[in-house]
Amino acid sequence: MNQEKPYFWRLFNIRKFWMDLARVTAGPWMMLIYRSKAIPVSKKAKESLHYKHGVIVTANHISLSDPFIIGTAFWRRRMFYLVAEFIMKYPIRGFLLRLSGCIKVNRNIADIEAMQKTETVLGRGDLITIFAEGGIQHQEGPAPFKSGPVLMAFTANVPIIPCYFEKRKHWWNRYHVIVGELFDPRKELGKDTASIPEIRQLTEKLYEKTKELEGVLHHE
């Protein structure tokens, strides 16, 4: 396991120069375009926004803009994304996505290399966003989650920040990203080892928590 890097290293590091440059140059434009607003559901959930260690952010997936919406809601952190391999297979696009912190994952195989990379990133204290439904969904509300994010959080021993947002009604509206309380799979289970059926149960629990966030958004 990697040693967690100091917080300053995670804010600026010469090896992540291009990624940070993209973040500071494109970030303000993305903020103007999407105007994401992170809304914590409780005082405890507010801590999620300021969490400074390795963490996974899970969210529902409604369009190709979602990484920017989540990225601007968590603008304080350098953010890595888990992206389907077919999106990164084109040379120039793949290069740019890799530069901006995307980790490719092949959904058709047991992708151990993606798992190892995420463990490294989380181990040094960075943040990874995963759209837990496994692809863009067109239904109302969140679709059932894949077990991968919980498995990653469990093996890397990091918590998950569940988020939920919906399409805005008009282009001038803000995106409201509802941020839930930290979900720690090991604490939830009360032990350090889990079987796959237990990982699936935890995934179901995370999904239920995300559905609760949907309810909060509709009461806004």
Partner 1 sequence: MSETEVFEILKEIAGKVTGSEAAFKNATITSDFREDLGMDSISVLYMVLDIEKRFKIRFDNKSIAQLKSVGDVVNYVLKHQK
Window contacting partner 1 (CB under 8 A); options: 2-10, 147-155, 158-166, 169-177? 147-155
- x/- string (CB under 8 A) for partner 1, residues 183-202? ----------x-xxxxx---
Candidate list 37, 109, 136, 187; residue touching partner 1; CB under 8 A: 109
Positive/negative CA dihedral, 164, 66, 55, 20: negative
Q: Please, which residue, 50 or 191, has the CB nearer to partner 1?
A: 191
Nearer to partner 1 among residue 49 and residue 115 (C-beta) = 115
Nearer to partner 1, 99 or 115 (CB): 115
Q: Which is nearer to partner 1, 2 or 13 (CB)?
A: 2
Closest CA to 214 of 111, 148, 142: 142
106 contributes a contact to partner 1 by CB under 8 A: yes
Q: What does the radius of gyration of the chain's CA atoms come to, in whole angstroms? A: 16
Residue 113 makes contact with partner 1 by CB under 8 A: yes
Among 14, 32, 92, 112, binds partner 1 (CB under 8 A): 112
C-alpha 65, offset from chain centre: 14
